[in-house]
Amino acid sequence: MDGEYKTVRGMGTAEIVEKRSRFIAYVRPVSTEDAALDYLGYIRQKHRDARHNVYAYIIRDNNIMRYSDDGEPGGTAGLPILEVMRGRGLTDLIVVVTRYFGGILLGTGGLVHAYSKAAKEGIDAAGAVEMVLCRRLFISCDYGSLGKVQYEAAEFDGVFCGETEYGETVKLEVYVPVGREDEFVKRLIDKTSAGVDITQGEISYFEKG
C-alpha cells in the first residue's frame, strides 16, 4: 500500500458559462472503477438532454486512468480534465463535465480552456485532501502523563480520534503514520517512565491534518 495519496474530501459541483455554453462539473471520490462508472451513469441519466457528458477518472487500484471526449473533438475535453487531475496529483476520483451547447462554436482552444476550468472549479468545490496510511493506537495513561502523550503525538504527526475517556486513567485513540508507530511507542514509554499502556489496532488511511 502507498503511504500517502491525495484525493478529494467529498462531492463537489461547479458551473461556468463560455459563449452561452454551460459547463457543469461534478466531482466525486471513488475507490473502484465500478463506482466511477455507476456515478457516470447517474450523471448521464440526470443530464440525458445534454449534448455531451465528458468524463475522466483515476483509480489507485491497478493504476487505472480513463477518459472520454463524448463526441467533442479528440483531445479537447476528457484529456484536459484528466490533465487537471494529474497536475494536482489526485487519485481515487471521477470528474464529469456536462455541456449544454449555447449555439456558438468555441474552437479547439476554447473547448480545452472551458473543460479545464470547469474541472478545476469542481475540484476546488470538492476540496483536496491528503490521506496517510496510519496505525490506530489505543492509549491509557495517568493524568500526569497526558500532556506528554499529547505532545509526542503531535511530534509524530499523530491525529487523535474518537472521544477521550476520563476515569481512573485517561484513555485515548490516536492514528500515527505507519513506519513511525514503533518509535512513537518507545518514545512514550521512555518519556512517561512506562506510565502508559498501549495496544495497537488496525491499519487504515486517515485524513492528514
The pTM is what?
0.85
36 and 63 together in one domain: yes
- Domain with 136, as residue range(s), is 132-207
146 and 109 together in one domain: no
The neighbour count for residue 71, using CB atoms within 10 Å, is: 11
Instruction: Give me the CATH number covering residue 69.
Output: 3.30.230.30
pLDDT digits (tens, 9 = 90+) for 185-198: 999 999 998 889 99
pLDDT digits (tens, 9 = 90+) for 139-154: 999 999 999 999 999 9
Q: Is the dihedral of CA 102, 106, 110, 116 positive or negative?
A: positive
27 and 107 together in one domain: yes
121 and 140 together in one domain: no
Q: What is the pLDDT of residue 107?
A: 95
Among 126, 148, 181, which residue terminates a domain?
A: 126
- Considering its fold, how many domains does the chain have in total? 2
Among 103, 126, 149, which residue terminates a domain?
A: 126
| Spatial separation of the C-alpha atoms in residues 120 and 194, rounded to whole Å | 50
Q: What is the pLDDT of residue 3?
A: 85
Instruction: Give me the CATH number covering residue 148.
Output: 3.30.70.240
Termini Cα distance of the chain: 20
The crossing angle, in degrees rounded to 10, of helices 146-155 and 181-191 is 150
> Residue 9 phi/psi, 5° resolution?
-70, -40
190 and 118 together in one domain: no
Among 97, 126, 155, which residue terminates a domain?
A: 126
Q: What is the pLDDT of residue 209?
A: 62
155 and 102 together in one domain: no
Task: Spell out, as residue ranges, where the chain has pLDDT lower than 70.
Answer: 1, 209
Q: What is the pLDDT of residue 149?
A: 94
